[in-house]
Structure 1
Amino acid sequence: MSQQLSFDLPAKPALGRDDFFVAPSNAMAVALMDANFAWPSGKLVLTGPKGSGKTHLAHVWARDSGARVISARRLTDHDLPTLASGPVAVEDVPDIAEDGRAQKALFHLHNMVLTHGHRLMFTGRPAPNLWGLGLADLQSRVQAATHAALEAPDDALLAVVLAKLFNDRQIAPKPDVIPYLVGRMDRSFAAAQAVVERLDRLALAEQRTLSRALAIQMMSADRRSETGEI
């Protein structure tokens, strides 16, 4: 009898529009990604916890609008006038809260992009008023942008997120694995990423199919660890 085995291959996230599941927790943000949607003042802040889909939606918007996607930490490596010649999505802006040079670069990019009539997206995990940017003029401009937040997932979205994460790793769990996990794991995108990675590695290490029995084994070990039994 043949077995499906897990191979230690790098995950390749699927970032197309059809790969993003729309749920009540993200519907507003998805609607704002429409390339024809006119953001007030031409700029948008997209926030949400790790794994919530910020990068996914930024790339969907970029493909539809012809925008560039760039990490805030890499801004000083680029020619700003060239970047400002079209729409831009700047990811993980809170990461430069202690980097004055990068903040100045983002401030100038902000002004150039909007002056040219293009649109500008910022992403980060917390709400924009918590980004703590030391350059007050930049912080105020970020807070003046339209804000769309990706909320914690409900059961339906969590199930789809798990399915996508497994698919990104090119593995197909047994049909009863995801319902089992959804009923027992923490409701967060970060937890979904951790669970999928651990199950993948466990299946690889034990040369077993990714089954409900394997999920039970992993979750039971977690409970014993939490209660100090191991």
Structure 2
Amino acid sequence: MTDQIALPFAWPADEDERDFIISDANQAAVRHLEHWSLWPVMATVLTGPRKSGRSLLGRIFANKTGGCFIDDAEEQDEERLFHAWNAAQADHKPLLLAADLPPARWRIKLPDLRSRLLATPVVEIEKPDDILALRLIEKLIQARGLIARPEVVRYVQVRIERSYIAIGRIVDALDEAALARRRPITLAVAREALATMGVTEDTYRLL
């Protein structure tokens, strides 16, 4: 299941929700955020790969709920996190922390912060599924003002690594190859872009 619709929160957001594509890879996280009033504590940790849209989702969530969003939480000052967590409980306004890993794998020095974070729900954005990868490639291509037929996008999608970073890299490569050839993204352009990432037809047959 993949969709590019408004996120299912009840309030308007300042940031354009259409930039976030909901799919099976992130739907569980979105639904958890939607029901923030039912959280056992007024905080959640959102994990997921880099470039997965977790920062965008966090900003949308904060705009809609009036809560607080802290990105790269595992790198932030522990006193800041401790006070933000306590304030969320006192004010009954949700705190969302985004991080690469769940708190159990952080190096937390403050015992009180560790106990609080270990009691905090964790939701994850997973690696992109096939449909999400396809939609993200399409979206990024369109954002660059490029043109690619659906079969070309599909040709690329089935040949790249299933990661958000790889999706960004292939669109960069497609952009460069199309600019060099001064033409839309054809199969020939796609093959050239894939080759810059070390993916050839022989490589693909081994995947």
Q: What is the aligned-residue RMSD (CA, Å)?
A: 2.3
C-alpha contact 2:177 2:192 (8 A) present in aligned 1: no
Aligned-residue offset at 1:140 = 2.7
Closer/same/farther in 2, CA of residues 93 and 223 from structure 1, 3 Å limit: same
The Cα offsets for residues 122-152 of structure 1, whole Å up to 9 and x where unpaired, read as 0011222112233332233222111110111
C-alpha contact 2:65 2:93 (8 A) present in aligned 1: no
Closer/same/farther in 2, CA of residues 35 and 209 from structure 1, 3 Å limit: same
Closer/same/farther in 2, CA of residues 63 and 214 from structure 1, 3 Å limit: same
Aligned residue for 2:41, secondary structure, equals helix
Please name the residue that 2:69 is paired with. Answer: 89
**Of 86, 89, 95, the match for 1:114:** 89
Please name the residue that 1:164 is paired with. Answer: 139
**Comparing 154-163 and 201-210, the one that deviates more:** 201-210
Please name the residue that 2:16 is paired with. Answer: 16
C-alpha contact 2:41 2:120 (8 A) present in aligned 1: yes
**Distance in 1 (alpha carbons) for counterparts of 2:41 and 2:20:** 27
Would you say 1:129 and 2:104 are equivalent positions?
yes
Aligned-residue offset at 1:25 = 2.1
Instruction: Provide the aligned length of Structure 1 versus Structure 2.
Output: 187
Closer/same/farther in 2, CA of residues 63 and 172 from structure 1, 3 Å limit: farther
Closer/same/farther in 2, CA of residues 116 and 37 from structure 1, 3 Å limit: closer
Please name the residue that 1:32 is paired with. Answer: 32
C-alpha contact 1:110 1:120 (8 A) present in aligned 2: yes
**Of 66, 78, 83, the match for 1:103:** 78
Equivalent residues in 2 for 1:140-219 (5 A)?
140-219=115-194
Aligned residue for 1:89, secondary structure, equals strand
Unpaired runs of 5+ residues, structure 2, are: 1-14
Aligned-residue offset at 1:159 = 0.6
**Distance in 1 (alpha carbons) for counterparts of 2:95 and 2:150:** 41
The Cα offsets for residues 136-178 of structure 1, whole Å up to 9 and x where unpaired, read as 3223322211111011111111111212222333433232221
